[in-house]
Structure 1
Amino acid sequence: KANQQEYDEIEAEERAKDPNFGRYPSLEYDPTTKSWKSKEGLIYGQGSKHGNRVEHVLAHTKPDPKKPIHSVFNVDKDKVLDLVDQAWSKRKGEASKVSGADVYIAAMKKVVGTQGERRIKIVVAAGTKEIITAHPTF
């Protein structure tokens, strides 16, 4: 019983630091910057209509009929961030520069999107690992 109480206290402390505690288990939260870091060092900060960049990327786990172009990952929501990390590690060459952002396309050698996409586009703020978006692409 003491162990459970200790666990509950630790969990309460973590929840106080990270408003999304437990929602993104593969990411490490930084309360100073209010951002999350992946194992590959990608940083998911605040922003976007979804509230933060994690939720923005996870929006690509279901269709959005309001958007004319919106690709969807073919893996469960809890696997997407690890898949983006895999794509980051597979990127090759220089980024394309578009509107103050670096754009990478990673060939995944497997289908990653619901329309048969086999590559992932990762867009980060120029010269950083700060995620703007990531989604399946042809």
Structure 2
Amino acid sequence: MGRRAKAKELIRRALLRREQGWSQLLTETGLARGALSTNLRQMRKEKEVVLETHSRGGSKKVYKLSERGLIHASVSAISKSIAGQITHVVEKIGRTDPSEIRNWTTGRKKLSLEIEDPELGKMKLTLHRGKRTD
């Protein structure tokens, strides 16, 4: 096993134990900052959503690092621009196809859209109408 593979394996083991802080990862893996940063950046490029969990602090998404492990992150921590992009796209759909938004808000239809994020690339999203809680 090469140096790069060993580094990624150490990172994966640490992430699976839910040791996610930068200093915790440095301590757990024993890697230099540059090596850890480079490997994490490469692993982050390969991630995809596998499931969503809900907790008291809000919902979190669990990401799979290309068959090699799991890392937890909230959507806002990944990219602050995602919420703004979704809002922009929904407003644009509302201007061009108001019936699409009307059907979504009344719960008759799902709303599908595509956004592009610098960190995550192109993403296709489907918005489901949430139940109202009064």
TM-score by length of 2: 0.29
- Choose between structure 1 and 2: higher helix proportion: 2
Q: Which has the larger radius of gyration?
A: 2
Task: Identify the structure with bigger relative contact order (alpha carbons < 8 Å, sequence gap 6+).
Answer: 1
TM-score by length of 1: 0.28
